[in-house]
């Protein structure tokens, strides 16, 4: 799988800061530094179709960092444009959003990369240490790396996160990835029904005196997708909570991607997956009542110590022709740097197919809903350096978040 490439521009003495910012956003980033603003823009253009991000900050006299970022965004050659500054003011954030800059990071929020702090530390050692914490029967011999964990969560039900989880899993499988789906809405989850299955994998069985192996509980949605959860009876949900961590570890050991659907109520299982997730995606819809639920779950993630760069906001049922509403970024302190994602309205036909357990058919449709779910998934995988090396995934990563309306004589309008 191809790692994301980060092209950076800053004064030489500030390179460590931008390098840390790149690896905080893209754990497996390949960083290249340019000596000037012009060289950076040229490098971005020459990169071709390879996923790439531009990170700018502290360029020094004669260069306006925000103007350079705005020019790069206008060029359209970077999948993400990141500005690093000493302090983010309200006016700066507003200017950045209007210029198309993806994120504005404060210097103080950039965490030093562990490789620089301790040269002996590396990704394989970290994963081996995590494997040692698991019970021996759950670990896979010779495994050095865990699959990334993407958690879909929300502060209230009915926003469509389960449909997104099912579709994203099918899309990832079509890109050649092995996917582990975990339904951690232990009491009321119904992820299995979206695939036409009559029951889920009862996780409460793990609390028995002679518990089955976690692998034996998995339901096969397809050769590439395994599904765990929820509990067979709602009243047994609490008995399965202590096994959530072991389940996530096992799923990550045997897949290329783990997608966890969670409960809309705050439980210990939700807290567990939020703290473990490589990306926590907060799903909401366009209704104003979503603001309170977005604030609630976002505040929980921040209080649990989740790095704010690992939190994303996903607007479901979005109008494909409307610009994103950035006012939702003010729902909770810490969400202002959360990357916004959008899934477009699918209509009654998509909803009916999902209710009938025909998610596989939905994933095969070339409609706004499926394309936008694919685009969101691709953007998350680009950030994690795990985008599959296939044309469909690369095209999805470049899918625009707003569709243009066709207007007669649109090319004849005057500029300005």
DSSP string, 73-111: HHHT--SEEEEEES---HHHHHHHHHTT--EEEEGGGPP
Q: What percent of the chain has pLDDT over 70?
A: 83
Domains, the chain, ordered by start: 5-115 (3.40.50.2300), 145-397 (3.40.50.300)
Q: Residue 116 pLDDT more than 50?
A: no
More confident residue, 356 or 415: 356
pLDDT mean across residues, the chain? 83
Task: Report the pLDDT value the prediction gives residue 221, as an integer from 0 to 100.
Answer: 96
The label of the residue with tokens 């990170």 reads 55
SS3 335: helix
Task: Report the pLDDT value the prediction gives residue 337, as an integer from 0 to 100.
Answer: 67
pLDDT grade for 399, boundaries at 50, 70 and 90: confident
Q: Residue 141 pLDDT more than 70?
A: no
Task: Report the pLDDT value the prediction gives residue 52, as an integer from 0 to 100.
Answer: 85
Q: Residue 48 pLDDT more than 60?
A: yes
Task: Report the pLDDT value the prediction gives residue 202, as an integer from 0 to 100.
Answer: 93
**Range scoring the smallest mean pLDDT among 104-113, 187-196, 277-286:** 104-113
Residue 285's closest CA among 313, 322, 243?
Answer: 313
**Range scoring the smallest mean pLDDT among 142-146, 276-280, 390-394:** 142-146
Angle (CA) 288 164 369, round 5°: 80
pLDDT grade for 293, boundaries at 50, 70 and 90: confident
Q: Residue 155 pLDDT more than 70?
A: yes
Find out whether 204 and 212 touch, Cβ atoms under 8 Å. no
Instruction: Tell me what the mean pLDDT of segment 110-134 comes to.
Output: 44
**Range scoring the smallest mean pLDDT among 37-46, 287-296, 322-331, 370-379:** 322-331
* Sign of the dihedral through C-alpha 305, 383, 71, 338: negative
Task: Report the pLDDT value the prediction gives residue 87, as an integer from 0 to 100.
Answer: 87
Task: Report the pLDDT value the prediction gives residue 297, as an integer from 0 to 100.
Answer: 87
Find out whether 105 and 96 touch, Cβ atoms under 8 Å. no
Tens-digit pLDDT profile for residues 294-342: 888 888 888 888 888 889 999 999 888 887 766 555 555 556 667 889 9
Instruction: Tell me what the mean pLDDT of segment 90-101 comes to.
Output: 83
Using only C-alpha atoms, the chain has a radius of gyration, in whole angstroms, of 22
* Sign of the dihedral through C-alpha 330, 331, 334, 339: negative
- The whole model's pTM is what? 0.68
């Amino acid at each position: 799988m191809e790692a994301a490439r980060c092209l950076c521009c800053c004064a030489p003495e500030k390179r460590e800061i931008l390098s840390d910012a790149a690896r905080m956003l893209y754990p497996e980033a390949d960083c290249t530094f340019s000596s000037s603003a012009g060289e950076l823009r040229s490098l971005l253009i020459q990169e071709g179709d390879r996923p790439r991000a531009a990170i700018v900050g502290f360029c020094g006299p004669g260069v306006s960092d925000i103007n350079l970022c705005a020019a790069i965004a206008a060029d359209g050659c970077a999948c993400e444009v990141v500005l690093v500054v000493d302090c983010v003011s309200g006016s700066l954030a507003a200017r950045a959003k209007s210029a198309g800059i993806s994120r504005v990071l404060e210097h103080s929020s950039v965490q030093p990369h562990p490789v620089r702090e301790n040269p002996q530390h590396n990704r394989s050692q970290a994963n081996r240490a995590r494997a040692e914490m698991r019970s021996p029967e759950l670990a896979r011999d010779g495994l050095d790396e865990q699959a990334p964990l993407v958690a879909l969560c929300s502060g209230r039900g009915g926003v469509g996160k389960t449909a997104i989880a099912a579709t994203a899993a099918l899309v990832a499988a079509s890109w050649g990835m092995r996917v582990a789906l975990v339904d951690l809405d232990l009491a009321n989850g119904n992820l299995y029904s979206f695939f036409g299955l009559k029951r889920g994998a009862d996780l409460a069985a793990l609390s028995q005196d002679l518990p089955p192996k976690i692998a034996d509980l998995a339901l096969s949605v397809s050769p590439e997708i395994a599904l765990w959860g929820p509990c067979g009876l709602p009243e047994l949900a609490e008995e399965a909570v202590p096994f959530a961590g072991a389940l996530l570890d096992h799923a990550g050991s045997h897949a290329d991607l783990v997608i966890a659907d969670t409960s809309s109520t705050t439980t210990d299982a939700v807290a567990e997956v939020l703290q473990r997730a490589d990306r926590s995606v907060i799903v909401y819809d366009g209704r104003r009542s979503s603001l309170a639920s977005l604030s609630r779950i976002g505040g929980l993630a921040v209080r649990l110590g989740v790095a704010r760069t690992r939190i994303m906001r996903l607007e479901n049922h979005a109008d494909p022709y409307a610009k994103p509403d950035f006012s939702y970024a003010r729902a909770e302190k810490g969400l202002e740097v959360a990357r916004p994602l959008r899934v477009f309205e699918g209509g009654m036909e998509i909803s009916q197919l999902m209710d009938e357990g025909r998610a596989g058919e939905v994933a095969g449709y070339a409609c706004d809903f499926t394309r936008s779910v694919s685009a969101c998934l691709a953007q998350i995988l680009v950030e994690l350096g795990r985008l599959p090396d296939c044309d469909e995934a690369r095209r999805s990563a470049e899918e625009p978040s707003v569709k243009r309306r066709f207007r007669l004589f649109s090319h004849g309008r005057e500029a300005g």
